[in-house]
Amino acid sequence: GFEKRLVIKRILPHLASDPAFVARFVSEGKLVVQLRHAGVAQVLDLGEADGVPFLVMEHVDGHDLRVLLQLARASGHPTPTPVTVALLVRILDVLDHAHQATDAAGEPLGIIHRDVSPSNVMVATTGEVKLLDFGIARAASRLAHSASGALQGKVAYMSPEQAAGDALDARSDQSAVGVIAWELFAGERPFQGASDLKV
């Protein structure tokens, strides 16, 4: 009679034949399971069915920040400043935990999320804030899993260094939080463009 609501994250069939993508997906599970923070959506299991890997993850009952931003714009009522500040502080706290994370031997994991954006920030109905999708996070020890020079993440929230394909550190994630902060306070993104290239 024990039941728990979960999320099963799996690879779409057309991507399952890409070994690099599969390796990144499996790497996500192994990476996130090492992060012990209430603001990280927890990976509970990693498995394989019919040759396709899957992750069993904590279910967060709520909405992502992208949806909440859209609702705020549609209603004409911006998010109250204390709520916005609390949300940003929580995101930064989660990222600080990830950036400072070490393995069992105490060696830095070198985690950089690389895709901090409103669609990867969940706000639970209880008010909890959780950061999702470390799937393209790059740990220093796992550089081989990412194609050199490949852009990963959402362009509107990328740091200039990430967009240029340069080496990254924790400041790149902090830059993305700055873009989110601008969007929360101003009601629009700071960088607009008709295409990713224009942005």
User: Chain-centre distance of CA 185, in angstroms?
Assistant: 21
Annotated catalytic, 115?
A: yes
| Contact status, residue 142 vs residue 174, Cβ threshold 8 Å | no
* CB count in 10 Å sphere of residue 69: 21
Residues 6+ apart with CB under 8 A from 178: none
Tokens of 96: 């600080």
DSSP symbol at 50: T
- Can you tell me the distance from the alpha carbon of 110 to that of 131, in angstroms, rounded to the nearest whole number? 17
Give all strands of the β-sheet with 62-64 in edge-to-edge order.
62-64, 121-124, 129-131
Length of the chain: 199
**Catalytic site residue from 115, 133, 169, 196:** 115
Helix axis angle, 170-186 relative to 81-100, nearest 10°?
170
Which residues are known catalytic residues? 115
